[in-house]
A and B are shown apart, each in its own frame.
Chain A
């Protein structure tokens, strides 16, 4: 490895890790959102439970889950290191700053949004991941699959939980609004012919993913799907 020197420990190297893991998590969200959106078939969760069963039983997906956790931890760990370094780079802060004059608030608040996301993630993993992997899903559906759909329906009867999920999704939306295009810029993929596409795709991606995710607790809570 000596040939690579400080490839990942320099300032730009650390940013590469943020960008690569960020894009990886963006890809994961597409899969996550896609499988979850099967609930909108509104067939009592039969289709969704097939998807959930596949995700829980396929060995390739289970191995991918480990890579996902490594990617997530790398993203968090690297963000902490970078933030601490950035704090040290300005030991005395300004009395007056006018950040809104030159940048978007959410681009300057990625650390705060990320922390909110992490808190949400702890609640979220406890709600579903721990149940489906460890403590066990209590019932099965008509086709004999574990009824994760029923777990969702039951959890989202609680308005506080729905509120926490919506706050988490809003944080996610703004985190993605900056993060998507930012990852491309960090990895050097800035090109006059593609910049518009990347920026546009980032905005559409963030909004569509967030609306789909937000629709899930809302639909369950208000009984729009059974």
Chain B
């Protein structure tokens, strides 16, 4: 396959970036999108140019490191896949592919296609945990959990924190991510004691990081590589209302 890439190049956080055109030839349709970038970078290095910096780690769709806004969509044109699991057979020979970094005030560009997503870490650190040790695995029937809750918690916990929800949201809102991290604990018994403190402190940190506000377009749910559902955002809103108007605990 022969392709034209338009890749966002930006020297550092302060520099002004721009899209740079690269012609690339001999790409196998079986390559992943990141392997195609490896080929591009090898070419650039051989020519003595700076390679394109991009985030990646496991390359099997579970770590949440890879990003890339490809032709106007996070993780490219396929549903429920990360960029590392996107293959070149999803494109046509001769295509022009525009690749940009996640764009959000809370995700500053570090270099080229790499952005700083530590805002997510700070949201988690604000309350996305339970404060006691859970100890060893208990006897299976010690702590009965309804199947419905167990499944919903598990689905919320599938969030890999890649930031596609923020990237695709027209408001750069992080509510899908934050609500998934709140829900995975709010649905389980171990998460109950801190449930209403957690939602308040995590939402406060989310606001402080400068993410936008959800307008329920549903773009995040449609683009999420793990299929995290909008019902998590509703649960977060519900818990937030309970925390502010029902719970007697004040923060």
Interface residues of A, Cβ cutoff 8 Å to B: 2-7, 10-16, 82, 85-86, 88-99, 101-104, 107-108, 110, 178, 181-182, 185-190, 192
Which chain B residues border A108 with CB–CB below 8 Å? 170, 215, 217, 219
Closest A residue to B233 by beta carbon equals A185
Is B191 engaged at the interface, CB distance under 8 Å to the other chain? no
Which 3 pairs, one residue from A and one from B, show the smallest C-beta to C-beta distance?
A188-B238, A190-B234, A98-B72
Which chain B residues border A95 with CB–CB below 8 Å? 6, 19, 98, 100
Q: How many chain B residues touch A (Cβ–Cβ < 8 Å)?
A: 51
* Beta-carbon contact of B216 and A89 below 8 Å: no
B72's partner among A3, A5, A97, A178 (CB-CB below 8 A) is A97
Q: A98-B71, A190-B230 are in contact. Are A89 and B235 (CB under 8 A)?
A: no
Which chain B residues border A6 with CB–CB below 8 Å? 204
Bound form: Cα–Cα A204–B215 in Å: 21
Interface residues of B, Cβ cutoff 8 Å to A: 6, 19, 69, 71-73, 77, 98, 100, 103-106, 168, 170-173, 175, 200, 203-204, 206-207, 210-219, 222-223, 230-231, 233-241, 244-245, 250-251
Bound form: Cα–Cα A216–B86 in Å: 53
Least CB distance from B167 to A in Å reads: 9
Bound form: Cα–Cα A90–B73 in Å: 16
Which chain B residues border A190 with CB–CB below 8 Å? 230-231, 233-235
Bound form: Cα–Cα A15–B233 in Å: 12
A178's partner among B203, B212, B216 (CB-CB below 8 A) is B216
* Beta-carbon contact of A102 and B244 below 8 Å: no
Which chain A residues border B213 with CB–CB below 8 Å? 11, 14-15, 82, 85-86
* Beta-carbon contact of B234 and A12 below 8 Å: no
Which chain B residues border A88 with CB–CB below 8 Å? 105, 210, 212
For this complex, 26 residue pairs linking A to B, each with C-beta atoms less than 8 Å apart, are A4-B245, A10-B204, A11-B207, A11-B211, A11-B213, A12-B240, A13-B244, A85-B213, A86-B170, A89-B171, A90-B103, A90-B105, A97-B72, A98-B73, A101-B72, A101-B73, A102-B168, A102-B223, A104-B217, A107-B215, A182-B215, A185-B216, A185-B230, A186-B214, A188-B235, A190-B231
Least CB distance from A157 to B in Å reads: 39
Which chain B residues border A185 with CB–CB below 8 Å? 216, 230, 233-234, 237
Which chain B residues border A110 with CB–CB below 8 Å? 215
* Beta-carbon contact of B245 and A103 below 8 Å: no
Bound form: Cα–Cα A97–B72 in Å: 4
Interface contacts beyond A2-B250, A97-B72: sample of 4 additional A-B pairs, CB < 8 Å, sorted by A: A10-B240, A86-B212, A99-B219, A187-B241
Which chain A residues border B240 with CB–CB below 8 Å? 10, 12-13, 188
A16's partner among B103, B212, B241 (CB-CB below 8 A) is B241
Bound form: Cα–Cα A100–B70 in Å: 15
Least CB distance from B103 to A in Å reads: 6
Residue among B173, B175, B203, B207 with most chain A CB within 10 A: B207
